[in-house]
Structure 1
Amino acid sequence: MSDFEILVSSLSNRTNTALAAYAKHKAQGDEHQLFNLSSAQKNLFQLGLLDWRRGDMSNARRNFSDCVEAYNRMVSDASEFASRDGFWEEFWEGNSRDETFPAAAAYLCGGDFTVAPIPDGVSRHGDQGYQPWFDSKLILTCMGISSFARDELNNSLSRAKNNKRYPDILIKLTEFHFEVLTGQWSDRACSEMLDQHSELYAGLKKLKDMPDLIHGEGDHNDRVVDWIFACILKRIGWSGRYLHAWPEDGQTAETGDVRETRIVPANYVSID
């Protein structure tokens, strides 16, 4: 088996194991069933990304749909334990960073996404200055579920830049994501925007130390797409052909270096 086939097989096996464990714990009325679904939905999202990058949109949509279904089921099941003091606080502590994946899958595929309740004093997005916060803010803002202020964003970026464990190339890509979403590239040709994105995303190949598949780090850079940028392109109204764009209905996914704009974006997010 190739490295890619081993990776797909491993994710598939872990998904099946998590779903089997979910059924067992649910039958017992055990809260651990929520952890099993959280694990399954993240694996399904990764499988969808791998399918998307190689142009298999049928399986990509199926895995994304299953990812959203697993998350929606997790939120529904969570309500069974909501009467316990501190439950939702613990739920968000363990799952806030994973909400972004099914949210993005639902946004791209057009599926129904269950917005989990959030208790007072708990951040839906996690801690500022860390990747889950940026991912969550970007995706949920694209969906109209959340928003961000300029000072809030600048403070989070400043914290990230002071974090020696946060790679510079990842910060630059994150800044670029917010710039595109808020129209800071609107005075330039779309070709420049796509060229800049392609260069920044390819830079993630340098992150060889424990590379993250979901964000395309290290050797995974050629295995997945920048799903965050795909959501941003959809939100701002860009349409065309690009490797990191979700294909419109009736279109096939781009697997090569094609950068063609048909509709120039105009639906930017405004911030104060």
Structure 2
Amino acid sequence: MGLFDLFKRNRASSSRRRGSHARISRIDHLLGMYHDFLEKPEPAYGGVDFVAFVERQLREGQVDLAIWNISSQVRYYFALANLYWGQGDGPRAETYLRRTLERHQRLVDACADHDLPRPSYRGIECAKCAACLLGVEVEDLRRAEAFEPGYEPWFKDALLSYCLDLRDFDRDAWQASADEWTRKRHPKYRLEEFAVYVKALTGGYESTDAMLGAHAKMFASRTARNPDSDLLDGYDDNDLIVDHIFAAILNRIGWEGSYRHSWPHSAAVGSMPQTTKSPDRFAGVIAAAEPMADRDTGLIGDVSAARRFIDLHLRHQTDFEGEVVDAARPAKDRGKVSGALRDLGWTGDPETLDLMRTYRMDCICNDRTHLSLCDPMRGASITMEAWTRLLSDDFGLHPDFIAIAGSEEKTDYRDPQGAWYCYWKKDRRIYAIDRDAWGDPDVAVRHARPGLNLWPSYSSFVAWWISEHLRSKA
């Protein structure tokens, strides 16, 4: 059992101790625990410490186990460095940063001595961070790692790798991994935290103060969550540790000054950052390729790709006359969207909920039709509730359908003809349903074809709607 596993098991009892009359402070408890684990002679190790024990494992041929143990030592030494760093003890922090790199090199040498490939081990981002902070060239750390996209080690390693050299940020690779994270149903808030790092790395903030303020807010918000995370992530002992990833990014982009999460000058918890040199070495960005529509259907079927297309084009949306149209939903209204959709019977669709929280549907242009998208919120010019009720009560639309587009033409709401765009609650897809089949869902969708009168998701439909608008402008 590793130290981090032991730490997780004891986290609850440790938290209780912090609220009781503990004999030692939390920081002394943590420092003592890591020091003992690394440096205290143990009977189970034959009377030697953990580092010496690993050397004996190597001599006795337990190579795989020894290499795994060395990789854990990389993390433990870095944790010690971070704890001293968080207490303002720079010299001791530097000592353990250098020991972090020494342990990584020992792992590399052990693999070479036994003709084994060096693994992409959990914690290699600690070695990369130590090298970045100390300005040390470690050639081995520049190689490409093999972490599986869509899991946390990939994101941490990618960020620290960008901090080690001057490569441009690959937005496509990052987005692909973020999409995998979403498909695996991992917490969205973690992606939002990573996005703060990316924005700082690539110069996305309008000012240095805005960047530091956004990071401070993000890091402080971790105290309100309780995931099963490592000490270094800062969810549990937020006030004791430093955000080493952000500190490495500050070094990478050329920022200088004093901030709680900076190196070598780290300020006290709650102090105001002091900038002596604004960043001037932001990572360049390899622009993400625009999501492509399927050749046969003309649709973007993947929900994540459709959303990227939507976000890309709504940033600078203009109407037929070239006037900018801002479709962003006001912040004060975003929390009301869930209830509005629930009242309509549109549930279990987090992608659509997020899309509608971000944008007002009735403000998304399409000059190839006189119709407008309906918005779920009352007060919009054309609402889903009003059009669904009209088509259902007056013209027989089945209650399993929700109207998603409407018109201000009198002839349309007096006697709607032809096909109308609707969401079917049963399969959560969008159909263009002919008036003659409104009363029978099975008949209405029986011969629907993707690219003609069927869209696999609401996001796919909105992406198509925007593409139609772009065609009108072209």
Range into which the TM-score falls when normalised by the shorter chain: 0.7 to 0.9
**8 Å CA contact retained: 1:65, 1:111:** no
TM-score between the two structures when normalised by the length of structure 1: 0.85
Task: Tell me which protein shows more helix as a share of its residues.
Answer: 1
Q: C-alpha deviations, 1:11-39, integer Å up to 9, x for none?
A: 11222343132121123243132122111
Aligned to 2:36: 13
Query: Offset of 1:148 from its aligned partner?
Result: 4.5
**8 Å CA contact retained: 1:239, 1:261:** yes
Relative to structure 1, the CA distance from residue 169 to residue 223 in structure 2 (aligned partners, 3 Å threshold; closer, same or farther) is farther
Ranges in structure 1 where 5+ consecutive residues have no aligned partner: none
Aligned to 2:279: 265
The alignment status of 1:189 with 2:207, answered yes or no, reads yes
Identity of aligned residues (%): 26
TM-score between the two structures when normalised by the length of structure 2: 0.50
Name the Cα RMSD after superposition.
2.0
Q: C-alpha deviations, 1:182-238, integer Å up to 9, x for none?
A: 1212xx121111111000011111232433211111x21111111111111111111
Alignment of 1:110-259 (within 5 A): 110-115=135-140, 124-144=145-165, 148-164=169-185, 166-185=186-205, 188-217=206-235, 219-247=236-264, 252-256=265-269, 257-259=271-273
- Residue 56 of structure 1: which of 83, 89, 101 is its match? 89
Q: Distance in 2 between matches of 1:237 and 1:61?
A: 20
Query: Offset of 1:253 from its aligned partner?
Result: 2.8
| SS of corresponding position for 1:262 | strand
Aligned to 1:43: 76
**8 Å CA contact retained: 1:212, 1:220:** no
Q: Distance in 2 between matches of 1:238 and 1:184?
A: 14
**8 Å CA contact retained: 1:97, 1:133:** no
Q: Distance in 2 between matches of 1:56 and 1:233?
A: 20
Q: Distance in 1 between matches of 2:166 and 2:105?
A: 16
Relative to structure 1, the CA distance from residue 115 to residue 209 in structure 2 (aligned partners, 3 Å threshold; closer, same or farther) is same
Query: Offset of 1:126 from its aligned partner?
Result: 0.4
Q: Distance in 2 between matches of 1:25 and 1:146?
A: 38
Q: Distance in 1 between matches of 2:180 and 2:55?
A: 41
Q: C-alpha deviations, 1:127-177, integer Å up to 9, x for none?
A: 11221111111111111186652111111122223333x333321110111
Aligned to 1:27: 59
Q: Distance in 2 between matches of 1:271 and 1:117?
A: 19
Partner amino acid, structure 1, of 2:282: Y
Moved over 4 A (4+): 145-148
Q: Distance in 1 between matches of 2:103 and 2:67?
A: 10
Between 223-232 and 5-14, the greater mean CA deviation after superposition: 5-14
What is the aligned length?
Answer: 252
Partner amino acid, structure 1, of 2:182: K
Ranges in structure 2 where 5+ consecutive residues have no aligned partner: 1-23, 40-48, 287-474
| SS of corresponding position for 1:198 | helix
**8 Å CA contact retained: 1:140, 1:147:** no
Q: C-alpha deviations, 1:59-86, integer Å up to 9, x for none?
A: 100011101001111101110122xxxx
Higher relative CO (CA 8 A, sep ≥ 6), structure 1 or 2? 1
* Higher Cα Rg, which structure: 2
Relative to structure 1, the CA distance from residue 100 to residue 209 in structure 2 (aligned partners, 3 Å threshold; closer, same or farther) is closer
Aligned to 1:67: 100
